Amino acid sequence: MPEKVVIIGSGPAGWTAAIYAARANLQPIVFEGAITEENRIKGTLPLGQLALTTEVENFPGFPSASLHNFLETALPEDRRPFWVLDKKSQPGHGITGPELMDLMRQQALNFGTRIITDDITHVDFSKKPFRITSLEGNTIEALSVIISTGARANYLGLPSEDNFKNRGVSACAVCDGALPRFRNKPIVVVGGGDSALEEASYLSKFASVVYLVHRRDKLRASKIMQDRALGNPKIKPCWNSAVEEVLGNDKDGVTAVKLKNLVTGKFEELTASGMFLGIGHTPNTDFLKGQLELDDKGYIVWQKPARTNTSV
């Protein structure tokens, strides 16, 4: 018999859908993605992009300030007796991305969600029940399919960049930033948005200096992220600059990054043990081509009111 609900993807959206579907007794299946080296390099391992971050400050319910002071100011007085707290102010800890995603996954499991650790490579939405085929070659039928595959990090597309992937070039500071090759050495981060600045701030814990390479003379990131990064003495902006080439050798991996100043046209080589990318994302929708309407960037086109078009 066809499955009632199949969910493809294991980020916050996927687990939220699974929790609701499981509580409604729909016995959902979640394809959380395969654990492969290719997925690790692309940043598409199970649990989504949030599992590749450090502290999560903007998810409700996990204060990172003093927990005691937070409860005193945020909770009504009649609620405070339910909390057993020392009179002294105790430090709270917030939550990290991997912790949050593990909690979501476990919550879905607790309500009876079935989880398959595999990628989906093909779907047939031309008729019901829908047919879904996995990387391992298994095919199942489903009455409803929820797509929550998210997006993966973009790379520059330079040949020299490809040569040093996993040898100094990365799009995941949390995955790779603490490796010995980067400790107490200069590192380059490319980008000007929140992702790039978060990467730079995290890497500053390990690197001797972090060069932040941005094509413009202003950052696109939120003000709080800009203030943190530009106020960090270990982060050095390289304005109006683009990466021309990643330099290195087979033995050491990345040893330098060649920049071009887009205003003066001059070139500069920065000694660096690695280069981290923070330049946006591409949706993980390749398997949907020909089945759902996608825009020119690969994102699913929604039809009003918030309904995705199929051929059924």
> Rounded to whole angstroms, how far apart are CA atoms 307 and 294?
14
Active-site entry in 78, 102, 162, 175: 175
The single residue of 118, 172, 217, 296 carrying the catalytic annotation is 172
| Calpha distance 130→6 (Å, rounded) | 10
Mean pLDDT of 261-285: 96
Average pLDDT over residues 284-290: 95
Q: How confident is the model at residue 305 (pLDDT cuts 50, 70, 90)?
A: low
* Mean pLDDT score, 220-246: 97
Compute the distance between CA of residue 168 and CA of residue 275 in angstroms, rounded to an integer.
6
The model carries a pTM of 0.73
CATH of 3-54+97-152+282-308, one of 3.50.50.60, 3.10.20.30, 3.40.50.300, 3.30.70.2740: 3.50.50.60
Q: Is residue 176 annotated as part of the catalytic site, yes or no?
A: yes
Between 61 and 135, the more confident residue is: 135
Residue 251: predicted pLDDT: 93
Q: Is the pLDDT of residue 51 over 60?
A: yes
Which one from 78, 176, 217, 250 is the annotated catalytic residue? 176
Q: Do domains 3-54+97-152+282-308 and 155-279 have the same CATH topology?
A: yes
Exposed e or buried b for every residue in 111-126, given b needs 16+ CB within 10 A?
A: eebebbebbbeebebe
List the chain domain ranges: 3-54+97-152+282-308, 60-94, 155-279
> What pLDDT, in 10s, does the model give residues 146-155?
999 999 889 9
Q: 246 pLDDT exceeds 80?
A: yes
Position of tokens 């009003």? 304
Q: What is the pLDDT at residue 86?
A: 45
Whole-number pLDDT of residue 75 = 54
226 band by pLDDT with thresholds 50, 70 and 90: very high
Residue 14: CB atoms within 10 Å: 29
Return the C-alpha torsion angle 15, 20, 25, 26, nearest 10. -60
In this structure, are residues 174 and 257 in contact, taking their beta carbons and an 8 Å threshold? no
Q: CATH number of the domain at 155-279, out of 3.40.50.1240, 3.50.50.60, 3.40.50.720, 3.40.640.10? A: 3.50.50.60
pLDDT digits (tens, 9 = 90+) for 107-147: 999 999 999 999 999 999 999 999 999 999 999 999 999 99
